[in-house]
Structures are given as structure tokens and as C-alpha cells.
Structure 1
């Protein structure tokens, strides 16, 4: 027996420490899918950028509904995923249950905060980018009456609302912003018809520029604004091309950069849990000027947005967050 035990010990020493699980990046989108022209698609752009740069092939999972979030995350673990990114705050509650079951797997959540030694939480300062959109919208509006459409009243959407409203009012104190929330549930992010109806109601009240922060629902709002010959503002992805001449700008959230960086860091063995916030300074948010909207950006608009950006970065402008919005 002693000889067998000694032999086993020698074998273990020669074998060295157990090898770490191989790096396998994975992403779990929301049920809107990776080609939603908005939030998920920006994350997908990060996946393709990582792979195009020589990164490992990324396994992708697309739930059919929120009830499918846990099964898809578990499927990713079973598929050998070592670094899993989940796209959106709606995963937070389920991830808080799933992550502790798999302590050796690295999870990252976009737009949500989950505690855990194997979870990284990435938030964006949407209020800073939305402030710039508000500055541009205030100057582009003919009526001085602007609209904001939110998918549902959650902190991330309230940050959009707070920044946009402050940007409008700081630029044009006589202007007003009417707000429409589509739902108290995640359905508010997946109903283009509801987005269109909300935009039509705002148009009827005299609004001539609308900023929808509502995922796929926002596409309906942009369509309604374009059909009426008015202006919309894109969100998350660069949506300027959807309705050339009728999208004033897009307030982009650089999920592509975040996802790419998460995977590059994971591949290098540098995963770090905890909270990261990405704003203007970090290149996490911004507004777009493209050939599709260039004629809408007068010299006054461009100069005002440039100054606002500089003032935010210098700390001369403090942009309110979700806590600045009445509940």
C-alpha cells in the first residue's frame, strides 16, 4: 500500500498543477436577437471585432424569452464557456443565481450590477451622451417642444432621460420635454408598434424631435418621425442610416468596445470582477455625425455640442443621473 501511495504522489508531482480551463468566449443576447439594429447588434459588433482581430471564435446564445435566460446561461457553461458576457440589465436577477453555481466561470453583465467574485459589471454614463443629444436637439427643434420615449422606467433609461432633458434645458431654457414610457415590463423594449404610437401622440402635441431609448420599440418611433417629416435620435447603435436626413444623431453606447475589451482581457488572463463605468472620457458614449445626418448639423449645433463635451470632461457641467428624475 505504501508503494502505491508513494507512486501516486510521484505521479501527481510530475504532472504539476491542474491545467486551467481553456479560454472560450461566449455571449448571451436578449430575446431581441443580435440583429436588432440597436443594443444587441452593438454587442455583436464587438464579437465580430474581437474575432477579426485574431481572437477565438465566440459562441453565441439567443434566448427566446426572459424565461430562457437561465437555460441559455447554463447551456453556455455546459458548452465549455470560460468567459460569458450577458447583454442587458434584465439578466441581473438570474445571473445572481447562476454565477455562484459556477465559480470558475467568468461572467460579465452589461448595464447591470451583480455582486460576486466571478462577475464583472459594466455600466455606461448614458446621461453624458444623452446630454449631448439634448444640446443638438434643442437647437434643431423649431417648436421648442421635444419628446423622450423610454422602454420602461428603470435606472438605465432614467439616465438617458435625465441627460437628454438637462441638455435641452441648459441649451434652451424655454424648451420643454414630454416623456412617454411604453411599459412597466421589458415588453417596452420589443414593441415597435407601441413606439410608433407614442411618437404619433407626441407629434400631435407639437413635438418635432423625439429621442427613443427603447430598444427595438424605438425603431417604430423613428419610422413615425421620419414619415411626419420630423426628426428622431437613434440610440445604442449608429442608426443614422435608417432614415437619412431624419435622424439628427445617434447616441451610441459602445458595447462593441466593451465586449471586445472583455474578451481580450479574458484571453490574456486578466479578468477582474467588480464595477466599471464607461462615459465620455472612456469613449463609452457619444453622438454621431455621419454623411446621413451631416446636413442637419449646422455650425451652431456642432459648436454647441463640442463645447458641451469639453465642459463635461472638464467638470464644468455636472450631468444628473437617474436620481435626478422624479419617480
Structure 2
């Protein structure tokens, strides 16, 4: 009886953080016609409001609601993300939900297990990380981005712009995916500037590493203090602390996932963007039009600028036209195969 009460309490706790259509209400409509699709989304550590890829995923659902008339629900795990499996299950057992999306690599194992348990539901995972030898269930679509290639371009920008010849990297949770950011960045720096030094650090070893801005600020201040004039952060909500450290130090930061220039105008050199919002929209549309492809990882890369970097009027004073031209040539060389980057390579 005590065990049953614990389970019920846990479910109620998750329900308290679960809203329909983002604000607890159905979209207003002049008819009772049901939405063509209801999506259940579970955020990663950091949750909605991280100003990074969680917010981008949410925006993707807003775009899908506006353009395709879908309905959606979302849930936010606790700070450690320890109840992620329960939140996924809450969505999977809901008869209204046809597509369940987990945001973040930490969902990979749980969402694969859930897809096997609920074969009549469709599942998708942003930044899906397949374990070696594991077969992706036929009703699960992994959503992956070309982080290494995008980070290579970010590194090239840093290597061409640095004045101290020392640049930094700060990752959130030390993991295979984030190490691709690190290795791609370092390769890009050294490709254009072989003499440059890259300082690297991580917030931590668990999911909470993506939700610790104070630690991000501390690490960044340390790297700036060691001579880095540019730091690339791939740390989710923890990256907000890195941005603050750049402002305090009068140095530059390269951000990740979404353009964050507005958080520190004049101090954000660029952002390696992952169009999670467009990818979520595309995934929803694949369900609506019947082209959903489970059992595989769908790549969103440089070719269609799902993975890209920011260059516009707001940072053109920091990135010269010559640097931009060089980076665009590097991008073209990657797409043509002249420059080959192994997306599976991680630093030792």
C-alpha cells in the first residue's frame, strides 16, 4: 500500500508540471473539431526557460500548432532529471497523445525502452544517442545534428578572431555528444590557427550539469583569467553563466543551439545553431503526412542549415567580411567532401 501511494504521489507531482498546449488550455477554436495530432513533449534538465534547446523544442511545437493545428502537452523533469522515465510514461499512457518527444541525449535509453513497451505510439528523441549494437525500435526516430561540423566552424571563427591565441571551451555534462562539440571546436581552431591553445572544461558528469549557471560562470572566469579571449559554451542553461562571465570580463563568447546575442550584445561573437524548432516541426509534419521514419536516426545538418552559425548585422562588427568569407568556404569544403570530419570522433 505504501509503495502504491509513492507511485501515485510521483505521478501527481509530474502532472503538476504538465500543461496542455503550453499553458494548461486547449487553443481557442470556433468549432469542436479535434486537433489532427496531439504531441507530448518532455523537457531535458534545465526545462522550459533555459533560453537554449529546451525553449527551441517548445517553439517548434508552437510553430506546429500555428501552421498545422496540432495540440500538445509538456512535462518538466526535476533538476536532476531522475523522473524522466515517469514523465515519458505519463505521455505514453495518455490516449490522446500520438507522438511523444524527449528533448536531450539523456532520454535515449529510456525512450527506446518506452517505444518497445508502447509499439502503437510514435516516439522521437532530440540528440538521440544510440548505444553500440542497439537496434532503434521501428516506432522511434532519433533526431541528430551535425554538432561536430558546426563546432568546427565555430572553432574556425574563434581561431581567426582571437587576439591572445588562447581560446576556451566549456561543456555541460561530459558525454559523447558534448565531446563532439569539444573535438570539432578544437579541430576548427587548429585548422585555421595551428599555434592557438584551446582550454577545455566541463560543468559535471550528470544531467544537472546543464542547469548550473553559477558553475558555468566560475569555469568561464577561470578560462578568461588564463588568457582566453573567446570561450565556446555547449552547456544548456549553464551557458547563461558563461555569457555573464564574458560580459563581466569584457571578453567574447560563442553560444550554442539558439542565437543568444540579445543576452549580451557586443560580447556574443557567434552561435553554433541547432534548429531544434525546425526539426521538431519537421518531425511533427512527418507524422501528419505519413512519412514518419522510425528505426533510424534522422540527421539535420549543414546542408539545409539545420546546423549552422550566426553571422548577421549584429555581430558583423566582431566578425570581419574576410573571416566570414573564409568560414563560408570551409562550410562549402565540408559539404563537398574536401574537408572530412568524423562525426563519431571524440577526444580521448
TM-score normalised to structure 1 length: 0.89
Alignment partner, residue 242 of structure 2: 221
Instruction: Tell me, yes or no, if structure 1 residue 123 matches structure 2 residue 144.
Output: yes
Checking the alignment, whether the CA contact within 8 Å between 2:45 and 2:208 is kept in structure 1 is no
Instruction: Tell me, yes or no, if structure 1 residue 295 matches structure 2 residue 317.
Output: yes
Q: CA deviation at 1:29?
A: 1.0
Secondary structure at 1:67's aligned position in 2? coil
Distance 1:33 1:119, change over 3 A: same
Alignment partner, residue 98 of structure 2: 82
Checking the alignment, whether the CA contact within 8 Å between 1:166 and 1:319 is kept in structure 2 is no
Checking the alignment, whether the CA contact within 8 Å between 2:63 and 2:281 is kept in structure 1 is yes
Instruction: Tell me, yes or no, if structure 1 residue 204 matches structure 2 residue 225.
Output: yes
Distance 1:200 1:283, change over 3 A: same
Greater Cα radius of gyration, structure 1 or 2: 1
Alignment partner, residue 57 of structure 1: 71
Alignment partner, residue 68 of structure 1: 83
Q: CA deviation at 1:109?
A: 0.7
Instruction: Give the alignment partner of residue 305 of structure 2, picking from 283, 288, 291.
Output: 283
Checking the alignment, whether the CA contact within 8 Å between 1:55 and 1:264 is kept in structure 2 is no
Structure 1 unaligned residues grouped into runs of 5+: 1-21
Counterparts of residues 83-122 of structure 1 (less than 5 Å): 83-113=99-129, 115-122=136-143
Q: CA deviation at 1:293?
A: 1.6
Distance 1:238 1:193, change over 3 A: same
Q: CA deviation at 1:324?
A: 4.2
CA distance in 1 between counterparts of 2:217 and 2:347 reads 24
Q: CA deviation at 1:113?
A: 3.6
Distance 1:188 1:88, change over 3 A: same
Alignment partner, residue 316 of structure 1: 338
Alignment partner, residue 19 of structure 1: none
Instruction: Give the alignment partner of residue 55 of structure 2, picking from 38, 41, 44.
Output: 41
TM-score normalised to structure 2 length: 0.84
Instruction: Give the alignment partner of residue 158 of structure 2, picking from 125, 137, 156.
Output: 137
Structure 2 unaligned residues grouped into runs of 5+: 1-35, 131-135
CA distance in 1 between counterparts of 2:335 and 2:267 reads 29
CA distance in 2 between counterparts of 1:242 and 1:322 reads 32
